[in-house]
Structure 1
């Protein structure tokens, strides 16, 4: 059985969305959460609050793949594998929508401490075989309280 390390972290989340014929939109969010390392995978858990919507988010990632799972007012599962298209889903008040992520770039930059590092993913999001834009998600995490 492997050792599991868990620690509090502060997380800075930067999302950049580029849609056809529009200027990129950049969103920044700060949160606190926990980080856990199990084998070669990192699990970041935190809460996102935007416009009175609450989402508990888990980001699991390693060097080769990642997945974002959101629960709360919005439920979502988005898998990422570099150079591949992966099916996921997005649930809202209007029902479930199938989505596809085409991962173009993905980097995991750990530091010597589990509580510090960076995860970056760039992907195209498709809904119903139509591109809805290119997304860049960057998470920087540092030691929390």
Structure 2
């Protein structure tokens, strides 16, 4: 049985969404865990939506595909592969929508030693066929030695 070694990670999560002339940005800082299981690496952390909604977010990277999995008040599963279009699903207690991501860029570099790591994702996103704009997601990752 393979032993899973977790690293505590501090991260800054930034998102910019552009739809025509409208831009929306948000940013938060959180902590999470980075670990390897089999041939894939995982980053797991909590996201807060509004005052009361908490979502457990997992990013799974296999060297080619970045899979985003959200579980909690929002359920979401979406793959991102550079240069490809992928189909996923976004579910709340009220609705269930098909999602489509046309991914332009996926860069994943995990923290190594004292260096910072990053995840950079740029994609055009549709929910139930409706254009939600171009999304740019940047995570800055740093090993949290305080834990």
Corresponding residue number in structure 2 for 1:95: 95
* Structure-1-length-normalised TM-score: 0.89
Find the counterpart in structure 2 of residue 80 from structure 1: 80
Answer yes or no: is the 8 Å Cα contact 2:111–2:142 preserved in 1: no
Q: 1:130 offset after TM fit, Å?
A: 3.2
Shift of 1:50: 2.6
Q: Secondary structure at the match of 2:5?
A: strand
Matched with 2:47 is 48
CA distance in 2, matches of 1:45, 1:79: 16
Q: Extract unaligned runs of 5+ from structure 2.
A: none
Q: How does 1:1-145 map to 2 (within 5 A)?
A: 4-22=4-22, 24-52=23-51, 53-113=53-113, 116-144=116-144, 145=147
The number of aligned residues is 144
* Structure 1 unaligned spans of 5+: none
Runs of 4+ in 1 over 3 A off after TM superposition: 1-4, 113-116
**SS in structure 2 opposite 1:33?**
strand
